[in-house]
Amino acid sequence: RTGWLLRLKSGLRKTGSSISTVFTGTQIDDALYEELETALLLADTGVKATGHLLAELKRRAKERRATDPAAVKALLAEALAELLRPLEKTLVIGAHRPTVIMVAGVNGAGKTTSIGKLTKHLADAGATVLLAAADTFRAAAREQLGVWADRNMVEIVGQEGGDPAAVGFDAVSAGKARGKDVVLVDTAGRLPTQLHLMQELAKIRRVIGKADAGAPHEVLLVLDGNTGQNALAQVRAFDDALQLTGLIVTKLDGTAKGGVLAAIAQERPIPVYFIGVGEKLEDLETFNAREFSQALLD
């Protein structure tokens, strides 16, 4: 259970170390806070969350009479963990049968991989899963999802060239008829700027609700942790179109600038159900604010 934390740490080290070096001096002064501001911005923390963290840090440093930079660093870890804590949430299935989970994201974010990982996670927990390939544009996408389905030994529905909303509808109906615990609906990757495709997503969501009132029960956005400040724009756009219930943030084992989670927590606090920390099926972890903030500042 510690392997992923090491990978997360090595992924965050590049930016994390630049935050840590701010605290290697001996004085707490304006220069320290200025350097910290720069380091946080470089880690994609965003202007608002950076401002919040700095104000919070100065207040705490004064209140607790911090006398050296190491103490300020510990206070930063604390403030960051508090900011991130609202993002901690467990994905619960079982309240509905099937629990319908719709998944969206831009191309290359790691959506297909994350669906494979999520399928394994759910199957390991004893749930029966039906996969819906509502990405009807790319034959390759369906094939790729099929590979994950085979690996996880779960059924998959959806044919190439069909209407994605119809695939979603059929999948939910099939999930009900077959008594599945979960129906996972994959959708084609798209950019928030492709308005007609964003509207299509909203339509898939609506039509799924016609197959089963109350569905989808979860609407997840898969977000590449390396997207930088654009990540926040993506979260806003997909949330506006789909009313997201959760995020999966991928590739945090790479060169991620983990501060983006602080920016999300500050401006659009949507729960992070999982983080992706590698390319393998088991490289999916639940998000823990304290562990994450410590990994970032290590």
Q: Note whether 227 binds ligand GDP by CB under 6 A.
A: no
Nearer to ligand GDP, 16 or 278 (CB): 278
Q: Note whether 279 binds ligand GDP by CB under 6 A.
A: yes
Determine if residue 186 is labeled as part of a ligand binding site: yes
Nearer to ligand GDP, 39 or 109 (CB): 109
Task: Give the x/- contact pattern for ligand GDP in 116-155, rule: CB under 6 A.
Answer: ----------------------------------------
Q: Note whether 251 binds ligand GDP by CB under 6 A.
A: yes
Shortest reach from residue 276's CB to ligand GDP, in Å: 3
Determine if residue 65 is labeled as part of a ligand binding site: no
Query: Stretches 81-89, 166-174, 250-258, 265-273: which one binds ligand GDP (CB under 6 A)?
Result: 250-258
Pair of tokens at residue 168: 């979603």
The residue from 15, 113, 187, 293 that contacts ligand GDP (CB under 6 A) is 113
Dihedral class, residue 256 (left if φ above 0, else alpha if ψ from -120 to 50, else beta) = beta
Query: Stretches 40-48, 176-184, 271-279, 286-294: which one binds ligand GDP (CB under 6 A)?
Result: 271-279
Residue 31 DSSP symbol = H
Interface residues with ligand GDP (CB under 6 A) are: 105, 107-113, 189, 250-251, 253-254, 276-279, 283
